[in-house]
Chain A
Amino acid sequence: MADFPALKPTSRSFQLGQYPIKTYRALSGAVVRRSFGNRPFGYTLELEFANVPEATVNSICDHYNGQGGGTLGFTVPKEVFAGYSSTLQGKVRTPAGIEWLYVEPPSVTSVIKDISSVTVRLVGEIK
């Protein structure tokens, strides 16, 4: 399990995981919720690496291929969450029992020669 490359993104968006709940809504509008687990899943993390050199693109591509696309889980290093305190990093970067996986292949947009922008979408799932 190779860590994601230690790169600081130019933008980062994050969503906490959701709990496994099913909802039944009656015609009256009354709602019953049923919970089937005590841990959240499906954390999402979107990273953008804007105007980065080819070496950075290569390292992301190599990592994607090394993980078999979305097959193998991995950890995200603290550099990716640069700017967050260690307390917050514990909640969003390394939630208990969660591993990160690629949602889709990284998207690369060429800017100029040897400079590209890369977008990576990850999901945090229960191990």
Chain B
Amino acid sequence: MSEIRIAQYFDIKPASGGQRRFQNYFVGQKKSLGGVQYDFAPFRADGSIANLNGDNAIVRVLFPATEFSIKLVEEGDGNRLSELTLTTQWLNAAESMVRSYVEYYVGIGASFSETTIELRFRTAMDSVGAQFPARILTRSLVGDLPINAQIALQ
């Protein structure tokens, strides 16, 4: 049997300013990471995925719908274009860090329910597509431009 203790550190910088930092493992305690203090907040972060196409990885962070978390969203302009640094730490039995992973995301919105606030993020960088740089449609490439959308490259 193996056991892993997982602590997540959430460092958000809304587009409107007012940086906030939270961690979700040490209940009711402040923890220091990189020389700065993280308050406890009961959030969870999940949903980060990667695929072969290299699309943006999406992550969502769930907070209970409290006055504090609603303020977090409202003051952060609905989580649009906020900058999130999410650090995941693996801890040993003495609650000391064994391994740490840092990910960076950009806010793309938020949603509310009666119990939860969901903040949605995606990675800032997307993969470079096969058509990069984008081709420009010219008459030499597509011939006469039709009045409908049926354009075929020649």
Contacts and interface: CB of A to CB of B under 8 A. Distances in A.
Contact of A34 (B6, B26, B28): B6
A37 B26 CA distance: 6
Contact of A97 (B5, B25, B27, B42): B27
A33 interface: yes
A33 B1 contact: yes
Interface residues of A, number: 13
A13 interface: no
B6 A35 contact: yes
Nearest to B7: A36
A55 interface: no
A30 interface: yes
A42 to B, nearest CB: 13
A1 interface: no
B27 A35 contact: no
Interface string B107-148: 000000000000000000000000000000000000000000
A56 to B, nearest CB: 35
Given A97-B27, A97-B28, A126-B27, A35 B4 contact: yes
A103 B5 CA distance: 29
B74 interface: no
B2 interface: yes
A127 B64 CA distance: 13
12 contacts: A30-B1, A31-B2, A32-B1, A33-B1, A33-B4, A34-B3, A34-B6, A35-B5, A36-B5, A36-B24, A37-B27, A39-B28
Interface of A: 30-39, 97, 126-127
Task: Give 6 nearest A-B pairs by CB, closest first.
Answer: A39-B27, A35-B5, A33-B3, A31-B1, A34-B4, A97-B28
